[in-house]
Structure 1
Amino acid sequence: MKKTLSAFLAVATIAGSLAVAMPAAQADGGRIAAGVAGGLIGGALLGSALAGAAAPPPPPAYYAPAPAYVVEPTCHWARERFWDGYGWRIRRVQVCD
């Protein structure tokens, strides 16, 4: 979208400056042909700038359902003997299966 907007603004600025600076077209000397050619070239540039933007991908057609249940680990508290350097001590630890 940002590229498209900046391309449109650039083309509009150039077209506006040309419209102000150029006198009205007359049939003598091939000026009408030059105006038509300039319009076709400007249209081609604008069309290619707008066509270059990639379309966003379509949304997915299927969403996976949420799981019906979640198995959480079962935990329990247990007593554990450990050596602290001076003697045996007992502490409670949580054990999860």
Structure 2
Amino acid sequence: MKRLLQVALAAASVSAMAVPAHAGGGDFAAGVFGGLAAGAIIGSASRPYYYDPPPPPPPAYYYGGAGYGGPCHWERGRRYWDDYEGVWRYSRIRVCD
């Protein structure tokens, strides 16, 4: 429906520009301006509306499969002051066996 509306508007603008403009010496400029406007309208109406994104990259595989070489767990690390919330926090350290 959107494409049909744009094509109809483009046809209406081209037919409106076919009527001679009696501006007193500005016929050539009006013709050039009208041609550029018609070209822009028709060109934008004829472009595709879809965006085809590139395919996602293949999954990355690492040595050791999903466990990355053995069972891992998180431990509490050093304590630090969080200026944003104004509280003491503990860093997290990943430990793998």
Taking structure 2 as the reference length, the TM-score comes to: 0.39
Would you tell me which structure has more helix in proportion to its own residues?
A: 1
Q: Larger Cα Rg: Structure 1 or Structure 2?
A: 1
